[in-house]
Each structure stands twice: as structure tokens, then as C-alpha cells.
Amino acid sequence: NKNKSLKEANNKLSKEIDLLFADCMKSKAELKRRDSIEYATEMEDMNYDREEIGQNDDDNDLAKERELLASLIEKLKCNIDESKNCNKFLETSNKALIEKLKGEIEDFKNKNNSLESSNNFFKEANNKLYETNNLLYADYKKSEAELARRNSMEYASQMEL
């Protein structure tokens, strides 16, 4: 029972962690997907703009590329910050779940000790009952033998004398 309860608690804890991790990973995957789409779109726009403006506007293109790179760097910083926040959240959740599990383990230990104590008490009581039963059975056998002796013919003839 103890092992079963611990396994159930461990499985529940593992499922909660898996769900938290999956949610975090979904968020990260969605951000990466959006960023890659935005990056591809911005790169296409930049290429289109470059062709349209022509070679004389290289300075403008460089400025736009710098702006694009700055924008992408800012988005990467945001992604990194979000990942850090997600990791902090997971760490905090893990710590809380570990503390909860420690508490449950302590409760199981206390319950187990209590059950062992009760079990020992009942063993002692059972042993005393067994001894008492043996003494009563021995008295019963003595009484039965005495009754058989008194019912015998020899006893009856001795009493007549």
C-alpha cells in the first residue's frame, strides 16, 4: 500500500511536470514559428525593396538591413527572456512539487509507523489471548479427565464403600 501510494503520487507529480513542460515548449515552438515566418517575410520584402530601388540606393538598403537586424535581435532577446521566464516557472513549479512530495512521503512514514505500532499492539494482545486460551484448554482437559474418572465404575464402587 505504501509503495502503491508513493508510485501514485510520483506518477501524478510526473504528469504535472510533463504538462507544465509541454505548455512551455508549445509557447517556445509557436514563438519560433512566428519569428521564422516574420523573418522570411521581412527578408523577402528586403530583397524586393533592393531590386526595386536599384543599386544606387545601397546606403538605404544597408540602413534597412541594419533596422531589420536590430529588430530581429530585439525579437531574439524577447525569446530569450521568455525562455528564461519559462525556465524559472518550471524550476519554481518543480521546487513546489518536490516540497509537496516530501510532505506526502513524511505523511506516509508517519502513517506507516502508526500502523506498525498498532500491529505490534495487536500481536501482543493476540499472544496473550493465545496463552490464556492454552491455559483454559489445559484446565478444560483436566476437568474432562476428572469428570471421566468420576463417571468410571471404579470411582462409583469406591464411593459405595
* Sign, CA torsion 6/8/14/17: negative
Give the Cα separation of 161 and 11 in Å (integer).
87
In the chain, the number of structural domains is: 1
List, for residues 55-65, the tens digit of each pLDDT value: 556 677 777 87
List, for residues 127-136, the tens digit of each pLDDT value: 999 999 999 9
Domain of residue 7 covers: 2-117
List, for residues 19-75, the tens digit of each pLDDT value: 666 666 666 666 677 777 776 676 666 665 555 555 556 677 777 878 888 888 888
**Residue 54: left (phi > 0), alpha (psi -120 to 50), or beta?**
left
156 in any annotated domain: no
pLDDT at 142 over 90: yes
64 in any annotated domain: yes
113 in any annotated domain: yes
Q: What are phi and psi of 92, to 5 degrees?
A: -65, -45
Q: How many CB atoms lie within 10 A of CB 35?
A: 15
6: confidence class by pLDDT, cuts 50, 70, 90: low
157 in any annotated domain: no
59 in any annotated domain: yes
Q: What is the mean pLDDT of residues 9-18?
A: 70
What CA–CA distances, in Å, run from 52 to 55, 65, 129? 9, 15, 104
152 in any annotated domain: no
Question: How much is the pTM?
Answer: 0.43
Q: What angle do CA 16, 21, 22 make, to 5 degrees?
A: 100
Q: Tell me the helices (H) and strands (E) count for the chain, helix number first.
A: 3, 0
Greater confidence (63 vs 100) lies with 100
160 in any annotated domain: no
